[in-house]
Chain A
Amino acid sequence: MIKAQGLTKRYGSTIAVDHLDFEVQPGVVTGFLGPNGAGKTTTMRLILGLDSPTSGTVTVNGRLYADVPYPLHEVGALLDAKALHPSRSAYNHLLSLAKSSRISRARVDVVLDLVGLSDVAGRPAGKFSLGMGQRLGIAAALLGDPPILMFDEPVNGLDPEGILWIRTLLKSLAMEGRTIFLSSHLMSEMAQTADQLIVVGRGRLIAADSVANVIGSGQGTVRVETPRLDDLAQVLRNAGGIITLLHNALEVSGLESKTIGELALEHHIVLHELVRQRESLEDAYFRLTEASVDFHGSNTLVSGDPQ
């Protein structure tokens, strides 16, 4: 388990992490979501003791990371796949990490095999593609067979096959009872991989709940098609609905689809379509982080595309 209490990190006058409180539970995949600059990477660096918090604490299985003997046996982390010497071979990179934590050479071969890099283990790690580098980082994280695994944007740069591989790996690692904590800005990826979510914005905690609850907390909208758009819009506005006029339809929030249907019948307006639209994780994420996006173009919220 990872537990943060009042975790705060300031760099000069900028506050990167602002009084974060959260727990990452074992046995599930916990997603760490937030816009760029929300403090995700800083939080992970604080967990690993690479930076020291300005105030507050974060512990892994009840201890500060720096107090854990041979911590690779306790926490495996992939923060930056490029944080290695480019001319050292993948095998020697892993071997040096193994030596530092009294892990056997045999285990190096096991993890290389697990991530599918056995054939290229003798090549300089700096020559690896982004995807291979990411696999090497995951191999390093798994080296100590740790109960806690932490990945910062693990699917970055991976092809669809690689993404599927990571998704399956993470799920199976969680099912073994491990604590899995991964950050991503890919909402669709989170929806398929994570069970729990911790959402941050501008260093502050916005939500910490299951994926289902985060999605369910929004009201959702109803899409209505009718030949008499203006008339229906007027009726629904009078009933308290919030209307967005689309090209040939209305998007209504604040009213149930049942109510909309009944109102239309009452005013003799014919409906061609009446669809309740479930909020996606994307929508929920934008709803939650809307106030905390540091820099966004004027059309960010309209386009609905985080990329």
Chain B
Amino acid sequence: MTIITHFERAALPHPDTAKGTFWAAVGAEWVKLRSVKSTVWSLLVTVVITVGLGALLCAAIVARWDHLDPFERLTFDATARSLSGIFLAQLAIGVLGVLVIGSEYTTGSIRTTFAAIPRRRTVIAAKAAVLAAVSLVVGLIGCFTAFGIGQVILQGKHVGVSLGDPRVLRAVVGGAIYLTAVAVIGFSMATVLRRTPGALAALFAVVLVLPILSNALPSPWDNNVSKLLPATAGESLFSTRAAGDILTTGHAIIVLAVWVVVTFTAAMIAVGRRDA
């Protein structure tokens, strides 16, 4: 019997470049993201909460409008009011960010993923890119819809604003950017921790618990600490006034960017060093 020791196969269809593997990984991650129900649910819940809770809070203020004192009416931010569903919706999109990588570690499929693409940082970058793109699109849909419906409700007391008014468009887009940032921060935390529950706890602590704790600090520490938190930055981004008058839009973007960059860098370092 002759033993054939050379296996003939077709040449690889694509040259191997870093760019080539990145786009291949993006294609794979897009298939993964759209092919599990939890993704669809997280995204749907994000939109429903942003729109639904925003509408509810707008209706509530309209009902109380005649009883508000002049100061409250003067400082009323119609844009921020219609977008305030984001406070809750950020949890849904944050869960998606955590699950995108957390489920790979929980199920062990990360090993299948890394066997197909041994360049782990390429995998993490591709996952983050797909997650960010999807979160931004869904965030924009949610924020624009919430804004539109909210303003119709607020117009009942003639306090609605339009997208053409100063800083309004920026605030609506800012809301979507904040949701995207929360998703990526959650993703990065889950990559470092490799555990879904731990990462959810860490993310919720940062976006929910820390703002409450910082408010409990004595002045001026409350504002000083609060300024550094992503939630404060987010609030500033989707308001037409500086949130609590402590962060300008420019500073808010910097704070949020630092959170995203630091956590994502930690994820990239962690993933390259460990056994999968």
Measured CB to CB, the residues of A under 8 A from B are 25-28, 45, 48-52, 65-66, 68-73, 77, 79-80, 82-89, 92, 95-97, 99-102, 140, 145-147, 175-179
Contacts and interface: CB of A to CB of B under 8 A. Distances in A.
Contacts of B20: 102
17 contacts: A26-B6, A48-B118, A50-B111, A52-B275, A65-B118, A68-B118, A69-B12, A70-B21, A71-B116, A71-B118, A83-B110, A83-B112, A95-B35, A97-B116, A146-B9, A147-B7, A147-B9
Contacts of B14: 70, 102
B10 A49 contact: no
Contacts of B118: 48-49, 65-66, 68, 71
Interface stretch (B24-32, B195-203, B223-231): B24-32
Nearest to A84: B109
A92 B116 contact: no
B115 interface: yes
A177 B107 contact: no
A27 B3 contact: yes
B108 interface: yes
Nearest to B28: A100
Which residue, of A72, A85, A97, has the highest number of chain B Cβ atoms within 10 A? A85
| Across the A-B interface, the 7 shortest Cβ-Cβ residue pairs | A69-B16, A177-B4, A100-B28, A92-B35, A99-B27, A147-B7, A177-B7
A73 B35 contact: no
A32 to B, nearest CB: 18
Contacts of A48: 111, 115, 118
A100 B35 contact: no
A96 B16 contact: no
Given A27-B4, A69-B21, A88-B35, 4 more contacts: A49-B118, A72-B115, A86-B107, A175-B4
Nearest to B13: A102
Which residue, of A70, A71, A79, A140, has the highest number of chain B Cβ atoms within 10 A? A70
Contact of B5 (A27, A51, A77, A97): A27
Contact of B3 (A28, A52, A99): A28
A99 to B, nearest CB: 4
A232 to B, nearest CB: 45
Interface of B: 3-10, 12-14, 16, 20-21, 24-25, 27-32, 35-38, 103-104, 107-119, 275-276
A173 to B, nearest CB: 9
A85 B5 contact: no
Which residue, of B20, B36, B38, B118, has the highest number of chain A Cβ atoms within 10 A? B118
B7 A176 contact: yes
B37 A177 contact: no
A92 B32 CA distance: 7
Contacts of B32: 85, 88, 92, 96
A70 B276 contact: no
Contacts of B276: 50-51
B7 A178 contact: yes
Contact of B111 (A72, A80, A177): A80
Nearest to A104: B13
Contact of A95 (B31, B38, B113): B31
Contacts of B111: 45, 48, 50, 79-80, 83
Contacts of B119: 66
A51 B276 CA distance: 6
Contact of A177 (B6, B10, B108, B112): B6
Given A50-B115, A51-B276, A85-B36, A145 B28 contact: no
A145 B24 contact: no
Contacts of A52: 275
Contacts of B3: 27-28
Contacts of A69: 12, 16, 21
A16 to B, nearest CB: 11
Contacts of B28: 96-97, 99-100
Contacts of A88: 32, 35-36
A146 B8 CA distance: 10
B31 A84 contact: no
Contacts of B113: 100
A102 B24 contact: yes
Nearest to B275: A51
B187 to A, nearest CB: 16
Contact of B112 (A25, A27, A140, A147): A140
Given A96-B32, A99-B24, A102-B24, A177 B8 contact: yes
Which residue, of A50, A65, A92, A176, has the highest number of chain B Cβ atoms within 10 A? A50
Which residue, of A68, A96, A146, has the highest number of chain B Cβ atoms within 10 A? A96
